[in-house]
Amino acid sequence: MSFLSNHERPLAPPAMTLVCWLSAGRSLTEIGVDKFAGFRVQQLLSKLSYTAGDAGMPDPVDHDWLKQGSTSSADVRQSYENWVGSYDQDLSDWDYRAPLDAALLLKSHTSVTSKILDAGCGTGLVGTALRRVGFTGDITGIDLSPTSLEKAEERGVYRYLQPVDFQQLPLALSDDTYDALTCVGVLTYVLDSEAILKEFARLVRPGGITLVTQRNDLFQERAFDRTIQELVDERVYKDPVITDPKLYLPGNPDFGSDIQVIYAILTVA
């Protein structure tokens, strides 16, 4: 990641003062804080919120919650915060294929120089896969879990990283900013498919690509195909490409070959 050097950064108030100001609704621009300090303060805010609300949250050790797919931001944040230490190894053990499959699909629909938003970047597996298949443009990563973002930062593949809650729309990102967007393994936890897909279309320039995944069981349960068609009819997207179900976590006994993943590649109208 590339940020302003220390001597280029404006003087900033102490971290806890910033936390108080941000909690009271003050923006980073109002406070006069650069991106590096802002990222760290947002991480602190997320961790404080997570710690304050962790009572009664699911224990991720048995991973039952993964199949259940909670749509509570607090539950999801807690689970991923607790899991982050073994997350990459567990997914490798389960033969997690979605990051590389998504990167290859995206490469067939957009330029390798594209500016990309990795929505729900986690520890950076998709960003790493994008670099692996040859993408060279800036990649921004956003995620609910602050500790996962710290792991993603260590990979060195992201230009910017920012904590977000996909249940709180609109996201604090500008319109028409990206050439492409990936959202892999995230929409399980977002019940309102229409709202999040519209938000993604806002962030991607007209003619750009939004690539999202959805589990095949939830694709049917939530009528995901109907939602996509409605957004095409509303001219939010055009030319949708929907793949057949593909293996997702074949080494996980709760998923195996039963719960697979469908990729939707949508062009912003």
The token duo for 139 is 């990649």
Q: What per-residue string of b and e applies to 90-128 under the rule 16 or more CB within 10 Å gives b?
A: bbeebebbbbbbbbebbbebbeeebbbbbbbbbbbbbbb
Name 212's bridge partners. Answer: 183, 264
Please state which CATH number belongs to domain 98-268.
Answer: 3.40.50.150
* Residue extent(s) of CATH 3.40.50.150 domains in the chain: 98-268
pLDDT, tens only, 126-155 = 999 999 999 999 999 999 999 999 999 999
pLDDT, tens only, 87-99 = 999 999 999 999 9
Mean of pLDDT values over 2-28: 39
Mean pLDDT, the chain, whole residue set: 84
Residue 66 pLDDT class (50, 70, 90 cuts): confident
